[in-house]
């Protein structure tokens, strides 16, 4: 009996099952209200992609990371800049894939926290990628000039204006640039990039569809 008792004491403790009511991504507050202990929320089978959130698995790509952030997205906030480009299938540098760009109009305070890049910007205007409110891809590309150099902007623009199932045309980019930018450096970078893009078609695209994006 003593040997059997010692064996049981040495065995790893089995994790408590999470309540079925918890989705794949959930807030710590919701989990605590459902009876999950703080110790269980620190278990290695749960990841913490953002402050106050837990996920049943690690985010494997930008879309998974954005999905993980959705419970924290506040009213009037939307995904913007490089993250919005990646959501619709555009190219962005690897260094920008580990955090989510979140924009909100003034005077709302910008989002802050680990794995978040907070920005101030006009509202998204009803554009969505599935359940995610996003900046129009042309606007997001202009915004990304704050984060990318001219070479990276050119690659991103080419990926959005690809010949097969393009997201944008040069007309879309030109229209987005037209309202003006307060930063002369950003404006110069955008203007230079639009002249450098390899895709020259100015015809219509499938922009309203975007493989999942739409205007409300």
Q: Is residue 29 part of a domain?
A: yes
One domain for residues 89 and 128? yes
- Report the pLDDT value the prediction gives residue 137, as an integer from 0 to 100: 92
pLDDT given at position 32: 83
Residue-level pLDDT at 209:
36
Do 177 and 111 lie in one domain? The reply is yes
Contact call for residues 197 and 158 (beta carbons, < 8 A): yes
Do residues 102 and 119 lie in contact, with contact meaning Cβ atoms separated by under 8 Å? yes
* 211: in domain: no
Among the listed residues 184, 86, 179, the one whose alpha carbon sits nearest the alpha carbon of residue 140: 86
Nearest-angstrom CA–CA distance, 89 and 156: 10
Residues 107 and 185 grouped into a single domain? yes
Which domain does 50 fall in, by range? 2-55
pLDDT value at residue 211: 40
| 44-70: b (≥16 Cβ within 10 Å) or e | eebeebbeebbbeeebeebbbbbbbbb
Mean pLDDT split into 10-residue runs, the chain, 216 residues: 51 73 76 82 76 72 88 92 95 93 90 90 86 93 92 91 79 67 50 49 36 52
Round to whole Å and give the CA distance between 159 and 168.
9
Instruction: Find out whether 132 and 70 touch, Cβ atoms under 8 Å.
Output: yes
Domains in the chain, number = 2
Say whether both 31 and 70 belong to one domain.
no
Pair 50, 66 in one domain: no
Q: Are residues 45 and 67 in the same domain?
A: no
Q: Are residues 69 and 86 in the same domain?
A: yes
Same domain, 18 and 93: no
Residues 192 and 102 in one domain: yes
90, 174: one domain: yes
pLDDT score at 11: 54
Q: Are residues 105 and 157 in the same domain?
A: yes
């Amino acid at each position: 009996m003593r040997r059997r008792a010692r064996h049981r004491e040495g065995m790893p403790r089995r994790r408590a099952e999470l309540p079925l009511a918890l989705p794949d991504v959930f807030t710590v507050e919701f989990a605590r209200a459902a009876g999950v202990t703080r110790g269980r929320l620190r278990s290695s089978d749960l990841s913490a992609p953002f402050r106050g959130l837990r996920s049943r698995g690690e985010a494997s790509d930008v879309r998974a990371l954005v999905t993980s952030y959705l419970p924290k997205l506040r009213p009037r906030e939307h995904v913007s800049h490089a993250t919005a480009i990646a959501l619709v299938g555009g190219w962005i540098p690897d260094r920008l894939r580990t955090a989510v760009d979140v924009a909100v109009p003034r005077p709302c305070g910008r989002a802050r926290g680990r794995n978040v890049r907070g920005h101030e910007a006009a509202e998204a205007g009803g554009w969505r990628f599935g359940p995610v409110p996003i900046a129009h891809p042309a606007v997001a590309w202009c915004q990304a000039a704050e984060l990318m150099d001219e070479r990276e902007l050119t690659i991103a623009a080419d990926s959005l204006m690809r010949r097969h199932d393009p997201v944008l045309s040069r007309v879309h980019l030109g229209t987005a640039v037209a309202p003006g930018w307060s930063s002369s450096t950003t404006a110069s970078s955008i203007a230079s990039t639009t002249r450098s893009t390899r895709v020259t078609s100015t015809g219509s695209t499938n922009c309203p569809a975007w493989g999942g994006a739409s205007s409300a």
